[in-house]
Structure 1
Amino acid sequence: MNNIKSTFSIKDLEHLTGIKAHTIRIWEKRYNLLQPERTDTNIRCYSLSSLQKLLNISYLNNNGYKISKIASYESSKIPDLVKEVAIKDQTNNHTLSTFKLAMVNFDQKLFYDTYSSLVDVKSFESIFYEDFIPLLSEIGMLWQTDTITPAQEHFATTLIRQKILINTEKIQSQNQIKSKKVFVLYLPDNEVHELGLMFLNYQIIASGHQSIYLGQSVPIKSLKDILGYYDDITYVSYFTVKPDKNNIESYIDEFTNTILNHPHTKFWILGRMLSEIDIKTLPKQIQAFDSIKNLVKKL
């Protein structure tokens, strides 16, 4: 049985397109842009084709087309106009809309086709910063507002993970290690949000350093085992939800006492949980970063 979400509330449309529900209602009444169905309780209900049309309308409107002009086009002509505008557009708005549509409809081919069109004109680094990071930010918001399901979130993040892995393998086969510095990348116990860390692994390898990627939910005691193998180790971790605000300070204390008492050992950290501590009080071997880009600059 096909259980793909095919109907959307007006609030879903607002979250997915960025157009206020009030504006959508006005456009319906004044220009007949959408024809929603009604539930038994007279609540608007929109189809997947309506979502796609509104994403296209939003894109054209953001690129200077007046809504009255868009309304004068036949519905079948709007996607063609979007393609024409997108060719000249230097922003990622159309790409973001297409990725979101692929996620909502579990459309793997649309995701791959969109990604392939980017590869023709951009490096993988640019795609990650300019397209994947905005998409992941949107996914977080859409998930929090119950606009998308956990399955849709996992669908999109798994496809992004695949692209990071493919490009990491490619860069590993091309690049030689040029420094003696070793980076050990891991996530703390119960932390599973690893896309940012995976991309850092890609960037570290691309910079000619040795990277040891340990992945999700690694206890501190396991990190100690690596100390006997290398003289210059920088541990790198991403605190998205763990350790939580009640445990982050004790976690850093434990890491400091267990790992950083060895010479030439450092700890680089980033992630939104760092907002829960005063980074100015961190030990000198620990450095906090507010973005992936700023950490990469330090390599």
Structure 2
Amino acid sequence: MENYSMTQVETLTGINAHTLRIWERRYSFMKAHRTDTNIRYYSAEQLKTLLNVAILIRNGFRVSKIDKMKPEEIYQLVTEIQLSNTENVHDDINLLMVSMLEYNEEEFHKIFQKNVLRKGLLSTITELVYPFLNQVGVLWGTNKVSPPQEHFISNLIRQKIIAAIESLPLPLISAPTLMLFLLEGEDHELGLLLSYYIAKDLGWRVIYLGQRTPSENLKEALVQTNASFLLTMLTTPRSDNFLDSLQFISKETNTPILYSGNPNFTDTIKKETNFKYLDSPNAFINFLKSHSS
């Protein structure tokens, strides 16, 4: 059974550590475990309970009332909230986390499809999927869940995005072209796939090279495709090595490079003149729209 530190629980649930400590003193529903050195930690079941409690609190329930509920009552109320017409992306993010912790594909599909029906696929990706992946650390390789959980949820989302990309119409011959790639040593592909969907949905022609692209081969590909921009993601904490590769690509191709990733790994690169940092899907969308003509 997986265990989670207070920092992980704080990040995943949105409940701060101070509040968790107060609840532990005042109520009986949540008592952290402790290591031999007296450090708090939480089980997967406790994390699921806290995710559900956070949903109830956002929907008007008091902690003192929740404390008197049985686990099945909490689950039933959360289910009723999920089936209601209320729209709260934070609740759906929590529910996605629970589906991940339980390896529950059916629940994941229900939450995903509910959002697609309500607001469309692009908004579901930018407003639900991206924040969820960012919160659990999947996008930037700082995973706050176990590797099996990360692989389970990443592959479900990967399947959805690839199916969505396939369903989009082919771009016009005259459409601007964007080339997507990850440098050698980069394995976290979901952010790049999300970008693929967004660009194709906005009418761009996308050349998708995927993971571990040798930097010395990009010039030839750019000449053949006449791509206007390059896009990559930086997640692995080796920004100096990656900067050398990106500077080489920029010099060889004279093509503007768009990039995104964990800000801790990209501060050095932001000083480069031929590079454009994108801090969110909306920043990417706005850039593509402004360069579509």
1:220 to 215, 221, 226: 215
1:105 to 102, 107, 123: 102
Structure-2 separation of matches of 1:75 and 1:44: 22
CA 30–144 in structure 1, closer or farther in 2 if over 3 Å, else same: farther
1:247 to 228, 241, 266: 241
Structure-2 separation of matches of 1:268 and 1:45: 40
TM-score where L is the length of structure 2: 0.80
2:269 partner amino acid: I
Q: 1:257: which partner in 2? A: 251
Contact 1:14-1:20 within 8 A present in 2 as well? yes
Query: Highest relative contact order (Cα 8 Å, sep 6+), 1 or 2?
Result: 2
Say if 2:159 is the partner of 1:159: no
Q: Secondary structure at the match of 1:241?
A: coil
Structure-1 separation of matches of 2:185 and 2:133: 20
Structure 2 residue runs of 5 or longer lacking an equivalent are: 289-293
2:211 partner amino acid: Q
Q: 2:279: which partner in 1? A: 290
**Aligned ranges 1:78-97 → 2 under 5 Å:** 78-86=74-82, 87-97=84-94
Contact 1:179-1:209 within 8 A present in 2 as well? no
Q: Secondary structure at the match of 1:215?
A: strand
Question: Residue 161 of structure 1: CA displacement?
Answer: 1.2
Structure 1 residue runs of 5 or longer lacking an equivalent are: none
Question: Residue 19 of structure 1: CA displacement?
Answer: 3.3
Question: Residue 177 of structure 1: CA displacement?
Answer: 2.0
Question: Residue 166 of structure 1: CA displacement?
Answer: 0.8
1:212 partner amino acid: I
CA 266–151 in structure 1, closer or farther in 2 if over 3 Å, else same: same
CA 252–24 in structure 1, closer or farther in 2 if over 3 Å, else same: closer
Question: Residue 88 of structure 1: CA displacement?
Answer: 4.6
Structure-2 separation of matches of 1:163 and 1:276: 34
Question: Residue 42 of structure 1: CA displacement?
Answer: 9.5
Say if 2:199 is the partner of 1:204: yes
Deviation string, structure 1 residues 118-169 (Cα, Å, up to 9, x no partner): 222121111112211221122129x999852222222222211111111001
Contact 1:179-1:208 within 8 A present in 2 as well? no
Say if 2:119 is the partner of 1:122: yes
Question: Residue 96 of structure 1: CA displacement?
Answer: 1.3
CA 80–282 in structure 1, closer or farther in 2 if over 3 Å, else same: same
Aligned residues between the structures: 285
Contact 1:6-1:48 within 8 A present in 2 as well? yes
CA 232–148 in structure 1, closer or farther in 2 if over 3 Å, else same: closer
What is the percent sequence identity of the aligned residues?
A: 31
Deviation string, structure 1 residues 55-107 (Cα, Å, up to 9, x no partner): 22222123332212223444433233224444354321221112112222222
CA 88–251 in structure 1, closer or farther in 2 if over 3 Å, else same: same
- Name whichever of 124-133 and 28-37 sits farther off: 28-37
2:105 partner amino acid: Q
CA 298–145 in structure 1, closer or farther in 2 if over 3 Å, else same: closer
Q: 1:274: which partner in 2? A: 266
CA 161–65 in structure 1, closer or farther in 2 if over 3 Å, else same: same
Q: Secondary structure at the match of 1:282?
A: coil
Contact 1:200-1:296 within 8 A present in 2 as well? no
Q: 2:291: which partner in 1? A: none
2:130 to 130, 133, 154: 133
CA 164–276 in structure 1, closer or farther in 2 if over 3 Å, else same: same
Question: Residue 214 of structure 1: CA displacement?
Answer: 0.4
CA 36–229 in structure 1, closer or farther in 2 if over 3 Å, else same: closer
2:28 to 21, 28, 32: 32
2:214 partner amino acid: P
CA 179–204 in structure 1, closer or farther in 2 if over 3 Å, else same: farther
TM-score where L is the length of structure 1: 0.79
1:17 to 3, 10, 13: 13
- Name whichever of 194-203 and 160-169 sits farther off: 194-203
